[in-house]
Structure 1
Amino acid sequence: MNISVKKIGVIGLGLIGGSIARALKRSDKNYIIKAWDKDKKNLEQGFEEKVIDEYIFSIKEGFFECDVIFLCIPVFAMKEILDELLISISPNCILTDVGSTKSDVVALINEMKVKNPFIGGHPLAGSEKSGFAASRANLFENAYYCLTPTENTDDEILKKLRDIVTDLGAIPIDMTPSEHDRVTAAISHVPHVIAASLVNLIDELDSPDNVMKTISAGGFKDLTRIASASPGLWAGICLSNREKILDTLLSFREGLKRFENDLESRNRKSIEEFFASAREIRNALSDGKNIFQKTYAITVDVDDRPGIIALIATALANKNINIKNIGILNSRETEEGALEIQFESEESRLQGLETLSRLGYQAKLKE
Structure 2
Amino acid sequence: MSAAGAGSDEVPRVGVVGLGLIGGSALLGLRAAGLPVRGCDRGEAARAWCEGLGVPCDPSPEDAARAVDVLLVCVPPHATAAVAAVALAADPDVVVVDVASVKAPVVDELRTRAPADAGRFLPAHPLAGAESSGHEAAREDLLRGATWAVCPPGDDPDGAVDTAAVLLRVAPVLDALDARLLVCTPEEHDRALAATSHAPHVVAGTVAEVAGDPPTGGPVAAVLSGGALRDVTRVAAAPVGLWAEILRANADRTADALEAVADRLRATAEALRSGDHDAVVAGWERGTAAHDRLASARWGTAAWEPLALDDGWDGLLGLGAAGVVVRGLREDGRGGIAGERWATAG
TM bin, normalised by shorter chain, reads: 0.7 to 0.9
- The equivalent position to 1:39 in structure 2, one of 37, 43, 47, is 43
Percent identical among aligned pairs is 27
Structure 1, residues 315-359: CA drift from partner, whole Å, max 9, x if none? xxxxxxxxxxxxxxxxxxxxxxxxxxxxx9xxxxxxxxxxxxxxx
How far apart are the structure 1 equivalents of 2:108 and 2:304?
A: 39
Cα pair 2:122 2:150 within 8 Å, conserved: yes
Letter in 2 for 1:183: A
Letter in 1 for 2:145: N
Residue in 2 that maps onto 1:329? none
Bigger Cα displacement from structure 2, 11-20 vs 200-209: 200-209
Residue in 1 that maps onto 2:71? 69
Aligned length: 296
Quickly say closer, same or farther: Cα 1:208–1:274, change in 2 above 3 A. Answer: closer
How far apart are the structure 2 equivalents of 1:189 and 1:232?
A: 14
Quickly say closer, same or farther: Cα 1:187–1:62, change in 2 above 3 A. Answer: closer
**CA offset at residue 262 of structure 1?**
2.4
Residue correspondence of structure 1 range 249-288 to structure 2 within 5 A: 249-287=258-296
SS in structure 2 at match of 1:295: strand
How far apart are the structure 2 equivalents of 1:104 and 1:289?
A: 26
How far apart are the structure 2 equivalents of 1:25 and 1:201?
A: 44
How far apart are the structure 2 equivalents of 1:115 and 1:141?
A: 33
How far apart are the structure 1 equivalents of 2:47 and 2:210?
A: 42
Residue in 1 that maps onto 2:28? 22
SS in structure 1 at match of 2:19: coil
**CA offset at residue 86 of structure 1?**
4.0
**CA offset at residue 147 of structure 1?**
0.7
Quickly say closer, same or farther: Cα 1:274–1:209, change in 2 above 3 A. Answer: closer
Letter in 1 for 2:192: V
Residue in 1 that maps onto 2:226? 217
Letter in 1 for 2:83: I
Cα pair 1:96 1:118 within 8 Å, conserved: yes
1:122 maps to 2:122:
no
Cα pair 1:13 1:36 within 8 Å, conserved: yes
**CA offset at residue 231 of structure 1?**
0.8
Residue in 1 that maps onto 2:90? 88
**CA offset at residue 92 of structure 1?**
2.6
Residue in 2 that maps onto 1:339? none
Cα pair 1:138 1:169 within 8 Å, conserved: no
- The equivalent position to 1:11 in structure 2, one of 17, 20, 32, is 17
**CA offset at residue 197 of structure 1?**
0.9
How far apart are the structure 1 equivalents of 2:218 and 2:64?
A: 58
**CA offset at residue 257 of structure 1?**
3.0
Aligned-residue Cα RMSD (Å) equals 2.9
Quickly say closer, same or farther: Cα 1:60–1:198, change in 2 above 3 A. Answer: same
Quickly say closer, same or farther: Cα 1:55–1:214, change in 2 above 3 A. Answer: same
- In structure 1, stretches of 5+ residues that fail to align are 298-343, 345-365
- The equivalent position to 2:239 in structure 1, one of 227, 230, 243, is 230
Residue in 1 that maps onto 2:62? 60
Quickly say closer, same or farther: Cα 1:35–1:188, change in 2 above 3 A. Answer: same
Cα pair 2:74 2:80 within 8 Å, conserved: no
| Bigger relative contact order (CA 8 A; separation at least 6) | 2
Residue correspondence of structure 1 range 1-367 to structure 2 within 5 A: 2-3=5-6, 4=8, 6-28=12-34, 31-50=35-54, 52=55, 54-82=56-84, 84-89=86-91, 91-116=92-117, 117-149=120-152, 150=157, 151=159, 152-206=161-215, 210-287=219-296, 295=303
Give the TM-score taking structure 2 as reference length: 0.77
Cα pair 2:69 2:93 within 8 Å, conserved: yes
